[in-house]
Structure 1
Amino acid sequence: MTAPTLPRALAEPTERVPTRWVLWVVLASVGLWSGFFGPIQVLLAQQAEAISPDHKEAVLALVTGVGAAVSMVLNPVWGAFSDRTTLRVGRRMPWVVGGAAGGVVAMVVLANAHTVWVMVAGWALAQAGLNAMLAAITATVPDQVPGKDRGTVGGAIAIAQTVGVVVGSGIAAATGSIAAGYLTVAVVLLVTTLPYALDSRDVPLPPELRPPFAWGAFWRSFWVSPRLHPDFGWAWFTRFLMNLGNAFLILYLLYYLKDDVGLSDKAAEDNVFTLTAVYGLFTLLTALGAGYWSDRVGRRKVFVIWSGLITAASLLLFALVPTLPAAYVAAVIQGIGFGAYTAVDFALITQVLPGARDRGKDLGVINIANALPQVLAPALAAGVLAVGLGYVGLYVLAAAVSVLGSVLVVRIRSLD
């Protein structure tokens, strides 16, 4: 007796995706990440300082912390709902489009925010919308891309993330006002999502395969036992550590340049953009190459480990040599390391998922490892700064957790 054939929505993909589809996913991802990082790197910090100059760090910590908490909860929830979506246009595309629309509305709210609590509400709404988009766009890769090609596609998505970071921070630096920055980010998000919406190649789930819904079972499904799925557990934990180290750098880069390097407000804002651009350039040069190389040799862990250690070295340079030239050297090293890491670790994660039916939900659980560091980093950073260790202590801590996140990848057993 032959085994029953799985429907296409739940089968492991075997056909190579068209180049144009990868381009649409990359464009949508550029808009998505500009929506995240334009505010995170510059606009929220500027707005916090404009609203409460004497408590800017506390305001920024509150806004980003609440937003990250929203992200941590809703990303896997949206992913789970997309797994169960049975619309004819597919499982993922409605959540990509709906999330982008929510992000646009949030940017309009933030553009008109003049109090701390409107900032908090606007950024929470942005995180809710953008995480619906992120959950769906991430799950569409294992839905449609064969495992042997995911390093290359992961590299393309890593490039998109980097370009989105550069675009977002560039918008913030070039528009000249906080409100104009948010509105421009909204336009970019809308325009870059449109091609994917028109040609998503999304695969519908037959309605008869949607399981009965019960709230208790739904919430319990978010616990993926590390005992039953140890490789998934180690992939989650190591990504969490790497993103925690990176969050320390990104969230406090503007203040580091002002307070430790000694730049003026305008010079610090300009150099956040140019440092990000340098980082982005070297990410572009390494991400796709590392992903392709990983596909060719059929290995993931060695790339993830070494790229993580390179990233840790850049954080140490930021910590120990607080000068502008050293910051640019560190940005080069960071781009080389984190570009390769992002590409190959994404491929690794898609290959340790527990099953095809819950790809969106499980990748959403993985994405908690991206969001939780944004919740913890402000609190941990506030403690480090409060005891007088300064940004040297903060970035040494960032390097240490990045090293730990690199070496623990050896505990993943099912992949080379």
Structure 2
Amino acid sequence: MTSAYQGVASIALPRSLQQFDPVHKVSLLATTTTLAAILAIFGMVLGGMISDRTHSRWGRRTPSIAIGCTVAAILLVMMGSARSAGALMILMPALWLALNFYQAAMTAMLTDRVAPGDLGKVSAAIALGAPVGTLIGVNITSFVTSALGSYMAIAAVLLAGTGILIGFTPESPYLERKVQARPKQGWALSSFGDRDFSLAFVSRFLLFIAFYSVTGYLFFLVQDYIGLQRLPGRDAGKAVSVVFSIITVGWIVVTPITGFIADRIAKIQWIVGLSSIGIGLSIMVPALYPTWTAMIVFSAGVGVSFGIYVAIDLKLMALVLPDPDAAGRDMALLGVAGGAPQILTPSIAAAIIGMGGYSSLFLPGAVVGIIGGIASFFIQLKRHRERADGMASNG
């Protein structure tokens, strides 16, 4: 899943748009990703809500995962066969709808199958899959220069990963049907009435805005801001691959350690906050020094900080859920806080670049990252943890 997100958003889509219309590539990317953002939000929430209500012999989440994966694979092949920017502007939002539907159902498995005391280790294990997916996605799209070949390779990875998940870790049948009260007006967003859930959403949203403010425009940043003459091999695609590879190494090194520690620390929201602030500070380095060396330092700082964050992210999300019967829906809403910035940020970045150039992109990203970190300091986990432990003991 991550290989599809990063491979398409970081290299494949910008490269295709540049080939179709090099003059309007920035505005085309902004428009396409804005459309995708709208559908991604719907896909994420629908995936969580539908999987909450699914009853089948294959389990509660598996049918939604299988449907989302199949549709996404078909759309990837269609994107590789596209012959115009207009076609990509239709297919890419549809792809993000399918991928977010898929992600919502898959993420909800965490609350279904993991005890609260093991959330840190499992969260870290899941987080380790993300850098591997990123590494696979950006390297496939960087080195497979054929549009159809790169998109088909990403589709194959998505199908293979989903097959392993469903085949080797099958869900138990979920056939019980509970009688539920009629939902109240505004029920889909009712969890935002919970203070800690809302703070977690805001913190997560701002952190990912900070992260994607640079990585979402990385192809054009290294090409036009750092300059091709300063890049290894004078190749923007390979430079993006190097940056993501360094981020991945830092991510992989710190994530297992952080996940192990997280199950032994009460105030994990403080670790989340400090890692968000670390991302904000790392973003400032290329702003002060527009060199390839500065991008390497940025990559290392973001890799370590983000690796710490994602090791605890899912545990924090699971602990602030206000309604266990709507876990899929609420995990999806928190997922929107992480997924929407990936797609919304290019539109915001395009406006900032238009006003002040590439150098003006870094400061806003750094500021929102720091604010997101501060927001997480105010989350109170004690009452949520007591409720989760009570549910586990009753189960």
TM-score using structure 1 length? 0.87
The residue number in structure 1 matching 2:392 is: none
Question: Contact conserved, 1:93 with 1:200, CA < 8 A, in 2?
Answer: no
Q: CA deviation at 1:224?
A: 2.6
User: Could you tell me how far apart the structure 2 residues matched to 1:69 and 1:219 are?
Assistant: 22
Question: Contact conserved, 2:209 with 2:342, CA < 8 A, in 1?
Answer: yes
User: Could you tell me how far apart the structure 2 residues matched to 1:368 and 1:218 are?
Assistant: 22
The residue number in structure 1 matching 2:269 is: 301
**Amino acid of the residue matched to residue 307 of structure 1?**
S
The residue number in structure 2 matching 1:315 is: 283
The residue number in structure 2 matching 1:236 is: 201
The residue number in structure 2 matching 1:249 is: 214
The residue number in structure 2 matching 1:194 is: 163
Q: CA deviation at 1:340?
A: 0.6
Question: Contact conserved, 1:140 with 1:202, CA < 8 A, in 2?
Answer: no
Q: Which of 363, 376, 379 matches 1:409?
A: 376
Q: Which of 381, 388, 393 matches 2:360?
A: 393
Give the length in aligned residue pairs: 380
Q: CA deviation at 1:77?
A: 1.2
| Residues 254-305 of structure 1: per-residue CA shift (max 9 Å, x gap) | 1111111111695111010011011001100111211111112343112112
Q: Which stretch has the larger CA shift, 362-371 or 402-411?
A: 362-371
**Amino acid of the residue matched to residue 238 of structure 1?**
S
Question: Contact conserved, 1:102 with 1:125, CA < 8 A, in 2?
Answer: no
User: Could you tell me how far apart the structure 2 residues matched to 1:99 and 1:226 are?
Assistant: 27
User: Could you tell me how far apart the structure 1 residues matched to 2:185 and 2:171 are?
Assistant: 26
Q: Which stretch has the larger CA shift, 298-307 or 273-282?
A: 298-307
User: Could you tell me how far apart the structure 2 residues matched to 1:374 and 1:210 are?
Assistant: 38
Q: CA deviation at 1:210?
A: 5.8
Q: CA deviation at 1:120?
A: 1.8
Q: Which stretch has the larger CA shift, 76-85 or 92-101?
A: 92-101
User: Could you tell me how far apart the structure 2 residues matched to 1:391 and 1:107 are?
Assistant: 30
Q: CA deviation at 1:384?
A: 1.4
Question: Contact conserved, 1:65 with 1:374, CA < 8 A, in 2?
Answer: no
User: Could you tell me how far apart the structure 2 residues matched to 1:169 and 1:210 are?
Assistant: 46
**Amino acid of the residue matched to residue 235 of structure 1?**
A
**Amino acid of the residue matched to residue 155 of structure 1?**
A
The residue number in structure 1 matching 2:72 is: 103
Runs of 4+ in 1 over 3 A off after TM superposition: 203-207
* DSSP-derived class of the 2:263 partner: helix
Which stretches in structure 2 are left out of the alignment for 5+ residues?
386-395
**Amino acid of the residue matched to residue 224 of structure 1?**
S
Q: How does 1:200-215 map to 2 (within 5 A)?
A: 200-209=169-178, 211=180
User: Could you tell me how far apart the structure 1 residues matched to 2:186 and 2:50 are?
Assistant: 14
Q: CA deviation at 1:225?
A: 4.5
Cα gap change, 1:177/1:219 in structure 2, threshold over 3 Å: closer, same or farther?
farther
| Residues 182-228 of structure 1: per-residue CA shift (max 9 Å, x gap) | 0100111111111211133424433431647x7xx48832213434x
* 1:341 matched to 2:337: no
The residue number in structure 2 matching 1:62 is: 31
The residue number in structure 2 matching 1:23 is: none
User: Could you tell me how far apart the structure 2 residues matched to 1:394 and 1:196 are?
Assistant: 38
Question: Contact conserved, 1:84 with 1:210, CA < 8 A, in 2?
Answer: no
**Amino acid of the residue matched to residue 77 of structure 1?**
L
User: Could you tell me how far apart the structure 1 residues matched to 2:170 and 2:40 are?
Assistant: 27
* Percent of aligned positions that are identical: 27
TM-score using structure 2 length? 0.92
Q: CA deviation at 1:375?
A: 4.6
User: Could you tell me how far apart the structure 2 residues matched to 1:57 and 1:149 are?
Assistant: 44
User: Could you tell me how far apart the structure 1 residues matched to 2:169 and 2:179 are?
Assistant: 21
**Amino acid of the residue matched to residue 254 of structure 1?**
F
The residue number in structure 1 matching 2:46 is: 77
The residue number in structure 2 matching 1:14 is: none
Q: How does 1:125-144 map to 2 (within 5 A)?
A: 125-144=94-113
Which stretches in structure 1 are left out of the alignment for 5+ residues?
1-31
**Amino acid of the residue matched to residue 307 of structure 2?**
G
Cα gap change, 1:201/1:191 in structure 2, threshold over 3 Å: closer, same or farther?
closer
The residue number in structure 2 matching 1:27 is: none
Q: How does 1:5-154 map to 2 (within 5 A)?
A: 32-154=1-123
Question: Contact conserved, 1:69 with 1:371, CA < 8 A, in 2?
Answer: no
* DSSP-derived class of the 1:357 partner: helix
The residue number in structure 2 matching 1:382 is: 350
* 1:156 matched to 2:122: no
Question: Contact conserved, 1:235 with 1:409, CA < 8 A, in 2?
Answer: yes
